Chains A and B, each alone.
Chain A
Amino acid sequence: MLELRKDLFADERDDNLNVIGKGIQRQDMPGHVTGLTRYFDDHAFDGMLHLKVVRSPHASARIRSIDIAAAARAPGVKRVLRAADVPVNKNTLLSLINFGKDDEPSLAVDQVHYKGEPVVAIIAETEAQALAAKKLVRIDYEPMPAVFDVEEALKPGAPVVNETYPANYFEYHERFDHQKLRFGDVERAFASADMVLEHRYQMSPIEHAPTETNGSIAAPEQNGRFVVHSCAQGLFFALGTAAKIVAVESNRLHFIGGTVGGGFGGKVDSLTEPLAVLGAMVTGRPVRFVLDREEEMLYGSPRGAERIYIKDGLMRDGRIVARQIRSYFDAGAYTRLSSYAAIKCTAHLPGPYWIPNVSSDVHVAYTNRCPSTAMRGFGITAVDFALEVQMDRLAEAAGMDPMEFRILNAYRDGDMKPHRRKASNTALIECVQVAAGKANWPISEQGKRQSSLTGGGAGERAQIPATVLDARGQIGRPDTRQSGPTQTLPAGTSRIAPSKQPVMEGARDGRAAPTQVPRYEPARTATQPLAPAAYAPPPSPYQPVAGRQPPPYQPPPAPPSPAPAPATQTQHGAVRFSSVFGRRR
């Protein structure tokens, strides 16, 4: 049952909570157990039509011709829709917040980019009639080369997946070809580390497989409005997307939903709403567009697969001194939410650990696979799996207990993160302690005494180190450095001025040049290239005690942790816990 550990962080919490820690009946539970809960499909309309789409059997092909004549004459068919019937037939989900370029058609125009891409929509009196008419649509395809591997897709000469992004990578702010993080000098730290471990992690796409498949019902209301019963997880996202694609004012759409038969992220893509609304507009009748189970499994967007390379510099005493990550997020054929996943991934690196030298490059690559989307911590979960497997491997290499190893390397309040923000509200040490206790996993007395609240921000742990730049004065790829860094960002640089020059590395190494690249003055170079700070092991606030295999190297005794700062006036209530409003203290 629910357990609230009041002993942890007790001084930082008001115990005026009326709900947390207590069992409260959910408001939707009576409906669930009586069968009265209404999901999108649990609505009856007289004269409801059924929409089914004809999908591409090819991963990549040019469409030579489409013949809908026989389908349009088939029994019960009211209307057959093609790309030209869609008012705004190009969209990207995040265009609603002005992020990314429209790249995905509702119905394919002259090319298809993944197996299962919708090409033609059929609206008929019954589902059976719509399915029968699907077989009468004649589409002449010319198969084209396809690419299914993220790294292959980024190589020069790879087949272009999506014409909007011809180099097969998402363009951040139309200037940057990936998400980058640089902190300190990983190469230098690797050179001085006792061990360097590198591993490759490959995830698979995962289908959400909700018991309720994606779908919606759109029906004409009076005054030119349309009511839409939708499975959408983001109802207003679906409303805005549908309004854009069918080109109506959003106040003409009346979306009803919020009761979702399992979503897990797979119902944010507005897969059915725009065509259902369009169908209701052109027929004047209610139109139901529901994916069947096969469509849901094969063509409902999955969690994107990620390939992650992690290279760590490890000292014999268990400290991680450098972490370098190269990650490729498989967007499939269109962007949907993958651009956001890479941002989340970068913000999450290097995991909940204080590491003095960090470098990461997270790419969003297009492949001829089903577009991927949100799923339960997308961008985070997969990299966390990779990081934690890597942590176990590092612990083994250092001869340490994996729990103790995590306590040793965990973030503590006040530590500087590679994103140049101070860690706050950290709790990994406490989580490990509680988990070890629940699992009867023995950890040392010293490990049990550690706290996220003490020892953080000591010495180097609070510092922003000198950070290497590439020859152009930008935070470049380490592998483009021939001989040692030529420039560094001085220690303490908290904000890196955005490069005015496009940082499209694809353009440099022969891949297709990006589209619409703004050109400004050359990038600023560091005026006084400081000598890179000599790497010195940080004072560790915690010495691991011997595990089953004691580490051969014992670090010197740590200086006492600085006394906690005197308590300042604290904020009260939820604000103190919020990452939006600020720090815990």
Chain B
Amino acid sequence: MAKIPVQFRLNGTDRAAFVDAPETLLNTLRRSLGDFAPKYGCGQGACGVCTVLIDGEPHLSCLTLSVACEGRQVETASGMADGPELHPLQAQFMEHFAAQCGFCTPGMLTAARALLDRNPNPTRDEVIEAISGNICRCTGYEPIVAAILAAAGSPGLRRA
């Protein structure tokens, strides 16, 4: 099967890959581009550990075809920090112990980032709604919600 060339911006950098037609963005990110922050959890769009932003909107990369990402902006948890400087969400996740095994954390951060980019001062209910597609099997939802609320409205939220 002939491979298809795909180009998109990944965390602010132009990247290219040759993909199979049915290949998912999750596989391309992990296996071709070496970004291991999005995880495989279910392959069915049920758990949210593969969540990435495409043009600022949260998407499940396990259900997204790579060829559909041509020319788009893809962002993952790997690109949240500005060099050594953590994104406020990352800092607050650390501060609030909002990760246990850590497997859902990249997807949680990405979903939370999409929320705060859109709505810097969400209510608790809006936070819960925003991460409702992300499963934390260690059941650490309370510290996660607290961390997102703490990050909301923080001055470093919108990076230049």
With most chain B CB atoms within 10 A of its CB, the pick from A25, A38, A292, A293 is A293
Chain A residues near B78 (CB, 8 Å)?
34-36
Distance, CA A352 to CA B78, complexed state (A): 48
Contact B86 A35 (CB under 8 A): no
- A168-176, A205-213, A318-326, A561-569 - interface stretch: A205-213
Most chain A CB atoms below 10 A, which of B40, B43, B49, B86:
B40
Cβ contacts under 8 Å, B41 to chain A: 211-213, 293
Whether A33 contacts B94 by the Cβ 8 Å rule is yes
Known: A211-B137, A261-B102. A34 touches B39 (CB 8 A): no
Decide if A47 is an interface residue (CB 8 Å cutoff): no
A-side interface size class: 20 to 34
Within the complex, the shortest CB–CB distance from B52 to chain A, in Å, comes to 11
B101-160 with Cβ < 8 A to chain A: 101-106, 109, 135-138
Cα distance, A66 to B116, chains bound together (Å): 56
Count class of interface residues, chain B: 35 or more
Q: Does A32 sit at the interface, judged by CB under 8 A? A: yes
Task: Verify if B47 is at the interface (C-beta below 8 Å from A).
Answer: yes
On whether the beta carbons of B43 and A32 are closer than 8 Å, the reply is: no
A33 near B90 (CB under 8 angstroms)? yes
Complex: how many Å from CA A25 to CA B97?
Answer: 8
Known: A33-B109, A261-B39, A262-B138. Is A211-B47 also a contact (CB below 8 A)? Answer: yes
Within 8 A of B (CB), among A138-176: none
Contacting residue for B101 out of A41, A128, A261, CB 8 A: A261
User: Could you tell me the dominant secondary structure of chain A's interface residues?
Assistant: loop
User: Are B102 and A31 in touch, CB under 8 angstroms?
Assistant: yes
Query: Which A residue sits closest to B94, measured CB to CB?
Result: A29
CB pair B34–A44 under 8 Å, yes or no, is yes
Interface residues of B (CB under 8 A from A): 22, 30-31, 34-37, 39-44, 46-47, 49, 76-78, 80-81, 86, 90, 93-94, 97, 99-106, 109, 135-138
> Which 3 residue pairs spanning A and B have beta carbons closest together?
A35-B37, A32-B102, A261-B103
A-B contact pairs, 23 of them (CB 8 A): A28-B102, A29-B93, A31-B102, A32-B99, A33-B86, A33-B90, A33-B93, A34-B86, A34-B90, A35-B80, A35-B105, A38-B36, A41-B36, A42-B36, A44-B31, A210-B103, A212-B101, A212-B103, A261-B102, A262-B138, A263-B101, A293-B41, A293-B47
- Apart from A41-B30, A210-B101, A261-B101, 4 more pairs, CB < 8 Å: A33-B90, A35-B77, A39-B103, A211-B39
Give A contacts to B, CB under 8 Å: 25-26, 28-39, 41-42, 44, 128, 208-213, 259-264, 290, 292-293
